[in-house]
Amino acid sequence: MTAAPAYRRLSVEERRSQLLEAALGLFAHRAPEEVSLDDVAEAAGVSRPLVYRYFPGGKQQLYEAALHSAADELEQCFDEPLEGPLLARLARALDRYLGFVDEHDAGFSALLRGGSVAETSRASAIVDGVRRAAAVHILRHFGVAEPGPRLRMTVRMWITAVEAASLIWLDEEKQPPVAELRDWLVEQFVAMLGVTAARDPQTAGVLAALAAGDG
């Protein structure tokens, strides 16, 4: 007779992570106002009082905590060492970013789609914080002491394009293959810098340095 597996009590952090993962899965496919704590409890296989024990502020606290959890991990994707050719650094950062999208597609959708319809300024700030942090990381690699508005805008426009492409990629059943998508996005970044370089000497200098290092 096979013995039943021993029950292991989850630690506080493990239980909290379990609830956040369940919440992210629900928020990925339904508007926040359509998700109840009962739904989260059912998805996590726990009781409603247990959800309240970890999130006494109710659904809004749980929603914002779930967004923070996804945002923190997503921000780290762009934390690349200042070593090697610039395009290779960007490709490595995109590998991590798209790896997150691939592995946590529900959480990514909740962060981008759910965050955009949340009715609190805090939730919107969480989503915007990911974009700003990504831009800071990328601009740091250019070695420009004070990036001008055109260069900053180009980087932020590209980050928005990456977000949109990632969501479309999920809708398209993760096609084209992720490596092709990564290379495509890198090429788009270079093309966007080229357009801005025609109007902005600072961006032209960045593009020249990039070509020298990666050509």
What confidence tens digit (pLDDT) does each residue in 36-55 have? 899 999 999 999 999 999 99
State both tokens at 29.
Answer: 């496919």
pLDDT grade for 1, boundaries at 50, 70 and 90: very low
In this prediction, residue 114 has a pLDDT band, given cuts at 50, 70 and 90, of low
The rounded percent of the chain whose pLDDT value lies above 70 is 90
* Closest to 166 (Cα-Cα) out of 76, 74, 72, 82: 74
76 versus 180: the higher-pLDDT residue is 180
User: For residue 5, what pLDDT band results from cuts at 50, 70 and 90?
Assistant: very low
**Which pLDDT does position 115 carry in this prediction?**
47
Q: For residue 170, count CB atoms less than 10 angstroms from its CB and return exposed for 0-12, middle for 13-18, buried for 19 or more.
A: middle
- Alpha carbons 178 and 172: distance in angstroms, whole number: 12
- CA distances (Å), origin 156, targets 26, 80, 136, 138, 150: 29, 17, 9, 10, 10
| Residues 6+ positions from 161 with CB-CB distance below 8 Å | 185, 188, 192
Residue 69 pLDDT level (bands cut at 50, 70, 90): confident
pTM: 0.79
Q: Whole-angstrom Cα distance, residue 98 to residue 107? A: 13
Q: Are 75 and 96 in contact (CB under 8 A)?
A: no
